[in-house]
Amino acid sequence: MPRPPRLSPDEVAAALRDLPLWRGDVTGLHRTVGLPSFRAAVQAIVALADVAEELDHHPDVDLRWRTLHLTLVSHSEQGVSALDLELARRIDELLPT
Ligand SMILES: C[C@H](O)[C@H](O)[C@H]1CNC2=NC(N)=NC(=O)C2=N1
């Protein structure tokens, strides 16, 4: 299945205006999520895994105690694509604040 192409800097900047919980640029989208406990953070990763598998698009996850650092980038495209935007929206549905 072909994967969508990487977006231009202007396209990424425009998309980020509709994703206020995310920052970043063409090299990746970033969001930090604080959870109440380490276990809650691990459970959040498991929930993320279901979304990632559904989309066949996977976040880079860095867990520090109860803080998740998420990076979205399309490795195959060496940039940010529409799949990263879709994944960001789905993550925001799952972890709204
Ligand atoms: C075969 C499979 O579709 C690819 O390897 C997918 C899996 N998940 C992926 N996730 C991300 N973030 N980037 C990719 O390039 C990517 N490739």
- Residue 61 Cα, ligand 1 centroid: separation in angstroms? 14
Question: What is residue 80's predicted lDDT score, i.e. its pLDDT?
Answer: 98
Confirm or reject CATH 3.30.1360.20 for domain 9-94, answering yes or no: yes
Question: Of 82, 88, 61, 86, nearest to 2 (Cα)?
Answer: 82
- Establish whether this prediction's ipTM goes over 0.85: yes
Per-residue pLDDT at 1: 79
Which of 7, 30, 56 maximizes ligand 1 atoms within 8 Å of its Cβ, making it the mutation to test the pocket? 56
Q: What is the pLDDT of residue 97?
A: 79
Q: Is 80 exposed, middle or buried (0-12, 13-18, 19+ CB in 10 A)?
A: buried
pTM score of the predicted model:
0.97
Domain ranges of the chain: 9-94
pLDDT by residue for the chain (97 residues), tens only, comes to 789 999 999 999 999 999 999 999 999 999 999 999 999 999 999 999 999 999 999 999 999 999 999 999 999 999 999 999 999 999 999 998 7
Instruction: Report which residue type is found at 88.
Output: A
Tokens at residue 29, please?
């989208």
Expressed in angstroms and rounded, the spacing between residue 48 Cα and the centre of ligand 1 is 15
Q: Which atom of ligand 1 has the smallest separation from the CA of 59? A: 12
**3-state secondary structure (DSSP) of residue 34:** strand
